[in-house]
């Protein structure tokens, strides 16, 4: 059955977006299927702090945060399908990142003096674990990582956030669980040139980049704003939330954040989603992305062991209305709501 949207349904969605844009920064929504775009609508202003701000439209570029993960997964899966590199999903990450070789230190908590307590890992981190968020690296705002960072002094290696795009903050933060056992949401490098050549340009994604801070893209870039709950107003985002203090100058970026550093817009991103959906439904390889049918299928299949699903359910189960552990899972690139659950509703 081909998905459709009625005229009434489209009008209802547009009304929801228009009403939300009265109180929120500009926003947009694109609904696509194998057959094409079913719905597209944009509303609001590019900058809520500027009374003269232009209207948010399909050319506006936004910070796309964690939707970056699927793009990064596609790039890694391309390398796996390119037999020249000899990679599989079960390949140890340490083959190319010796810093991840077993044993690694695991942060286990603080002693009575506030000093860090460490154990050691027994399991190799695989590419599969890196893609489905079970590598053992903790979520940046989870209690374990916050506790570990509390033992560091300002400027010490690992003290900053991964979104700062500084290498020291990435490679010096310890893992917090045995690899392959716990789901931990996180952000895991010249990615930009590779992605432009092998993903964005082949799909026609001309408004997507890790580095949209110069030239034509910069003119269409939506500024980041912060909602001050106490004052009930938007402010310029500066240092209110360290995890979102993203560099906006290319010279300040040591590496693009593969788990949350992309800038794009709904129309551009929908090109990727539709392309993957077409290949998946037809069970065919993608000559455009150079991905096999089996690899594309992995993007639509659950991968987490039961114990790891508990962490995913605890983090976003309420948002997705998951009724029990197992409703939600993670593929090699994105969150997944099982089709057999809730009458077939899936994402």
Q: For the residues 206-218, what does the mean pLDDT come to?
A: 94
Q: For the residues 211-220, what does the mean pLDDT come to?
A: 94
Round to whole Å and give the CA distance between 170 and 182: 19
Confidence of residue 326 (pLDDT cuts 50, 70, 90): confident
Kindly state the percentage of the chain with pLDDT values over 90.
Answer: 61
Q: Half-sphere exposure of residue 305, counting CA atoms within 13 Å on the CB side? A: 11
Confidence of residue 187 (pLDDT cuts 50, 70, 90): low
pLDDT above 60 (res 189): no
Structure confidence at residue 99 (pLDDT): 85
Structure confidence at residue 124 (pLDDT): 95
pLDDT above 60 (res 106): yes
Listed in sequence order, the residues at least 6 apart from 127 whose beta carbon sits closer than 8 Å to its beta carbon are 76, 80, 87, 88, 89, 90, 91, 93
Kindly state the percentage of the chain with pLDDT values over 70.
Answer: 93
pLDDT above 70 (res 243): no
pLDDT above 70 (res 339): no
Residues, the chain:
347
Structure confidence at residue 320 (pLDDT): 75
Q: How far is CA 68 from the centre of its chain?
A: 4
pLDDT above 70 (res 329): yes
What's the count of helices (H) and strands (E) in the chain, helices before strands?
A: 11, 10
3-state secondary structure of 209: strand
Alpha helices in 221-303 (DSSP H): 266-282, 293-298
Average pLDDT, the chain: 89
Structure confidence at residue 334 (pLDDT): 86
Structure confidence at residue 345 (pLDDT): 47
Which span out of 23-32, 168-177, 232-241, 335-344 was modeled with the highest average pLDDT? Answer: 23-32
Q: For the residues 141-150, what does the mean pLDDT come to?
A: 87
Q: For the residues 304-321, what does the mean pLDDT come to?
A: 84
Q: For the residues 182-204, what does the mean pLDDT come to?
A: 84
Work out the number of other CB atoms within 10 angstroms of the CB of residue 79. Answer: 16
Structure confidence at residue 292 (pLDDT): 97
Q: For the residues 238-248, what does the mean pLDDT come to?
A: 76
Structure confidence at residue 200 (pLDDT): 97
Q: Which two tokens stand for residue 279?
A: 């290949």
Confidence of residue 347 (pLDDT cuts 50, 70, 90): very low
Choose among 318, 269, 258: nearest CA to 133. Answer: 258
Per-residue pLDDT reduced to its tens digit, 7-29: 999 999 999 999 999 999 999 99
Per-residue pLDDT reduced to its tens digit, 258-305: 888 899 999 999 999 999 999 999 999 999 999 999 999 999 988 998
């Amino acid at each position: 059955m081909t998905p459709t949207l009625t005229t009434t349904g489209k009008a209802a969605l547009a009304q929801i977006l228009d009403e939300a844009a009265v109180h929120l920064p500009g926003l947009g929504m694109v609904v696509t299927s194998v057959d094409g775009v079913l719905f597209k609508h944009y509303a609001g202003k590019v900058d809520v702090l500027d009374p003269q701000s232009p209207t948010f439209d399909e050319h506006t570029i936004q910070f796309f945060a964690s939707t970056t993960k699927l793009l990064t997964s596609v790039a890694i899966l391309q390398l796996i399908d390119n037999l020249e590199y000899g990679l599989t999903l079960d390949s140890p990450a340490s083959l190319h990142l010796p810093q991840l070789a077993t044993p690694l230190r695991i942060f286990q908590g603080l002693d009575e003096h506030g000093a860090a307590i460490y154990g050691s890992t027994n399991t190799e981190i695989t590419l599969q674990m890196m893609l489905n968020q079970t590598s053992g690296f903790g979520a940046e705002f989870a209690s374990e990582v916050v506790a570990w960072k509390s033992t560091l002094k300002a400027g010490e290696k690992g003290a900053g956030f991964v979104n700062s795009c500084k290498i020291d903050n990435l490679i010096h933060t310890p893992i917090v669980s045995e690899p392959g056992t716990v789901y931990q949401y996180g952000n895991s490098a010249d990615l930009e040139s590779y992605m432009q050549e092998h993903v964005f340009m082949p799909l026609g994604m001309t408004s997507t980049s890790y580095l949209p801070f110069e030239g034509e893209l910069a003119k269409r870039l939506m500024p980041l704003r912060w909602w001050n709950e106490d004052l009930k107003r938007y402010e310029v985002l500066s240092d209110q939330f360290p995890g979102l203090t993203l560099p906006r100058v290319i010279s300040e970026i040591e590496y693009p954040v593969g788990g949350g550093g992309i800038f794009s817009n709904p129309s551009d991103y929908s090109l990727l989603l539709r392309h993957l959906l077409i290949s998946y439904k037809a069970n065919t390889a993608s000559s455009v992305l150079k991905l096999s049918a089996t690899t594309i299928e992995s993007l639509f299949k659950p991968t987490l062991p039961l114990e790891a699903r508990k962490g995913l359910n605890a983090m976003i189960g309420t948002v997705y209305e998951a009724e029990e552990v197992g409703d939600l899972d993670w593929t090699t690139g994105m969150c997944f709501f099982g089709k057999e659950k809730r009458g077939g509703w899936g994402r």
